[in-house]
Amino acid sequence: MGIFNFFKKIVEENKVEEIVIEKLAFSEIGNWTEKKIKENESKEKEILVLVEEKIKNFIKDFGEKITILEDFDVGAKKEKDRIKNIVINSRKKYIESVKELIERLDNLKEHKLEKFIEKINKIFFEFNKSSFKNYERTTILIGKEMASIKENLKIFSKDLLKIFDENKQIVDSFKNLLIIKEKLNAINSISKTLEGISEKRSNLNKKIIEKEKENKTLKQNLDEIKISPDYLENLTKQKKVESLKEESKKNISELKQLLDFKALANFFHINPEQMKIVKDHREYFQINFERDNGKMIMDLLDEAKLNNNIILEKVNLIRIKKEEISNYEMKIKEDETQKVNSNIKEICFEIDALKIENIKEEKRDEKLRLNNKELIDSLKQKLGKMNVEVV
């Protein structure tokens, strides 16, 4: 432990000062903090100037006492040489420690009182640690001079301790002011972020309204298209095509029932290529018939002499319907509603995305406001300890 324990001792005042509560608007806190910091810095400079003067005087007085210690004639003492040698050697080492102390004090430069206290405390702690044994050994033969040095150190330490104790509130005030400044900066930063969020949410809401208007217009257009003569006529043609396709599908199924696949298989059983065609048509007649409009199966029927007028009529009917379907399909125009529906879906997706982003910003806003409230409450408590009320 160092020679100083600067913050253990508290100076008790004989009278209790009246506490004056200073009232500040929130907007005034920043300027008030900067003003108090400058006031503290000014007081710090005054204290440090005073301390530096104390150190200069101490170094001067201490140097004179060390000179006396150096000139002390240990040899004149009536004592064993072994003891004298111990004292002379210890005095030399003690003086070296003292000179190092003086040099470190002389070179001590610090603009902050708290740091200054830490450094000077460290200097004396290390001095005590390095000089204690040599001090004790030197006092064996050099008592009065060593006592004078000790007294000089004691007086110096008391003077510094008194100065530091009397101005301890400056160090505490600095700490509180820096915390207040930090919290205020955090509050201002959050406030700016909240402004940005508010602006962003306002823009998001405008975009949502615009997209919903656009969506409404598209739906109106869609309704108008659906009752237009062109659309209704086109829709009729589409339905006619679907009806013809269903009829054609039914006719192809009926045709399959007319065919004797067993007889075809018996006729072409020695021909793998024709047998494959027979098998494919038996299993997937609809697909294979529509693929070539029945040409392959009709050729096989002709070759096997299994064709007849009923089959031919059914095939012709199917082919006529197919041609009819083709003619209708050529007349069918592009469905205008498909593009409009596609646009509606796209806009609905954009609206949902904007709403999700808005919800995220809303939650972010709530979280930041809660953090801001906690910071403001903490700031008020800190200011309250400095007798300041935020109104």
Residue 249: name the closest of 330, 318, 316, 320 by CA. 318
Distance separating alpha carbons of residues 214 and 341, to the nearest angstrom:
13
Distance separating alpha carbons of residues 350 and 257, to the nearest angstrom:
54
Contact 386, 191 (CB under 8 A): no
Minimum mean pLDDT among 10-14, 242-246, 282-286, 322-326: which range? 10-14
Distance separating alpha carbons of residues 150 and 166, to the nearest angstrom:
24
Question: What pLDDT, on a 0 to 100 scale, did the predictor assign at position 31?
Answer: 92
Contact 97, 127 (CB under 8 A): yes
Question: What pLDDT, on a 0 to 100 scale, did the predictor assign at position 221?
Answer: 92
Question: 168-226 and 113-138 helices cross at what angle (nearest 10)?
Answer: 140
Contact 130, 97 (CB under 8 A): yes
Eight-class DSSP state of 28: G
DSSP track, 114-176: HHHHHHHHHHHHHHHHHHHHHHHHHTTT-HHHHHHHHHHHHHHHHHHHHHHHHTHHHHHHHHH
Residue bearing the bigger pLDDT, 198 or 1 = 198
Distance separating alpha carbons of residues 44 and 56, to the nearest angstrom:
18
- Mean pLDDT, rounded, for 245-263: 92
Question: What pLDDT, on a 0 to 100 scale, did the predictor assign at position 219?
Answer: 93
> Under 8 Å CB-to-CB from 287, ≥6 apart: which residues?
none
Question: What pLDDT, on a 0 to 100 scale, did the predictor assign at position 2?
Answer: 44
Query: Tens digit of pLDDT for each residue in 186-203?
Result: 999 999 999 999 999 999
Other CB atoms within 10 A of residue 115 CB: 11
Asked if the model's pLDDT at residue 314 lies above 60, the reply is yes
Question: What pLDDT, on a 0 to 100 scale, did the predictor assign at position 359?
Answer: 96
Distance separating alpha carbons of residues 194 and 221, to the nearest angstrom:
40
Asked if the model's pLDDT at residue 16 lies above 60, the reply is no
Query: Tens digit of pLDDT for each residue in 53-95?
Result: 888 888 888 888 888 888 888 877 777 888 888 888 888 898 8
pLDDT more than 70, % of the chain = 95
Asked if the model's pLDDT at residue 316 lies above 90, the reply is yes
pTM of the model as a whole: 0.60
Query: Tens digit of pLDDT for each residue in 88-142?
Result: 888 889 888 888 988 898 888 888 888 888 888 898 889 888 888 988 888 888 8
Question: What pLDDT, on a 0 to 100 scale, did the predictor assign at position 74?
Answer: 80
Question: What pLDDT, on a 0 to 100 scale, did the predictor assign at position 18?
Answer: 67
Asked if the model's pLDDT at residue 284 lies above 90, the reply is yes
Q: Which tokens sit at 64?
A: 């004179």
Residues paired with residue 22 on neighbouring β-strands, in sequence order:
388
Report the run of H or E that residue 22 belongs to, with start and end: strand 22-24
Distance separating alpha carbons of residues 169 and 158, to the nearest angstrom:
18
- Mean pLDDT, rounded, for 325-331: 87
Contact 120, 6 (CB under 8 A): no
Q: Where are the domains of the chain?
A: 27-166, 229-336
